[in-house]
Chain A
């Protein structure tokens, strides 16, 4: 149970990290351009991750290991769709959708993808049928996010 709560708190903290990242990258984009800023952030992010990997093996005196020894080579390509996101977001934020609309529809896309992953057990996630409570949770979080995003001045 304690392990599970830690996972929940970690996921919430990850969301906060994401918001801070977006704020910093936005600041850099203001002084350059969206794609350039994301490129620079990917560079510094790679350096930071390398330091984290090195720090881990120093502190724990062993290499960080995965639980699955073998896996497909395409799992290394997560950076491509991640980087493409910035390019697409630069297009839609400058459209009639603006920033709020872009955020709202991107959240919808994320939820659809997450539902499909659970439903079919894709990418190493346990197969879990969609329950009525899940629908309620998704509806609450999405509508709350829309209120939050469009409710500002």
Chain B
């Protein structure tokens, strides 16, 4: 049973990758902002169908939701546009790693600031290790870039 849930969660990660890949491709075709629009419109129609089939229109307590709760879509629109812009430029794995880094650090800060959660020493260690990973990627990326520049300089020379 547990392995079934693990499979579902990994599959979910693959679906996230697929969604971002399609949006990146669409961004190349019509621009990242339009890609973000189509992503949200198609998702809106799809989820409307899911809600009609499965039910779950829960609107009773919506009036009690703070204004901030309604801003998720706006941040999502900005996220999809930004991700679609950089994905074809940086490559997939680099984009994935950098987005995870930004998401993890910001997520911890939000927990700390908004939910009054204490930051544990293990979590600080986690942040340090993530930063180390991004730093390593940056270093190897720069070295590779200057390496190819050196090669082409050698060729022209």
Contact = CB atoms under 8 A, between A and B. Distances in A.
Interface of A: 1, 4, 7-8, 10-25, 27-28, 30-33, 35-50, 52-53, 56, 63-72, 74-89, 91-92, 95-97, 101-102, 104-115, 117-118, 122-126, 128, 130-131, 133-134, 136-141, 143-153
A77 to B, nearest CB: 6
A34 to B, nearest CB: 8
B126 A147 contact: yes
B57 A36 contact: yes
B151 interface: no
A35 B51 contact: yes
B20 to A, nearest CB: 7
A138 B90 contact: no
Contact of B71 (A24, A46, A133): A24
Contact of B126 (A27, A134, A148): A148
B9 A19 contact: no
Contact of A84 (B1, B15, B32): B15
Consensus secondary structure, chain A interface? helix
A17 B82 contact: yes
B74 to A, nearest CB: 4
B42 A76 contact: yes
Contacts of B2: 96-97
Given A27-B69, A45-B40, A85-B12, 15 more contacts: A4-B141, A18-B99, A25-B72, A42-B44, A46-B37, A46-B44, A52-B33, A83-B47, A92-B8, A113-B96, A123-B22, A133-B137, A141-B134, A144-B125, A148-B130
B8 A91 contact: yes
Contacts of B121: 151
Interface of B: 1-2, 5-6, 8-48, 50-51, 54, 56-59, 61-62, 64-66, 68-83, 85-108, 110-111, 114, 117-118, 120-123, 125-134, 136-138, 140-141, 145
Contacts of B32: 64
A42 to B, nearest CB: 4
Interface of B, helix, strand, loop or mixed by DSSP: helix
B7 to A, nearest CB: 9
A123 B118 CA distance: 41
A138 B31 contact: no
A99 B138 CA distance: 30
B31 A15 contact: no
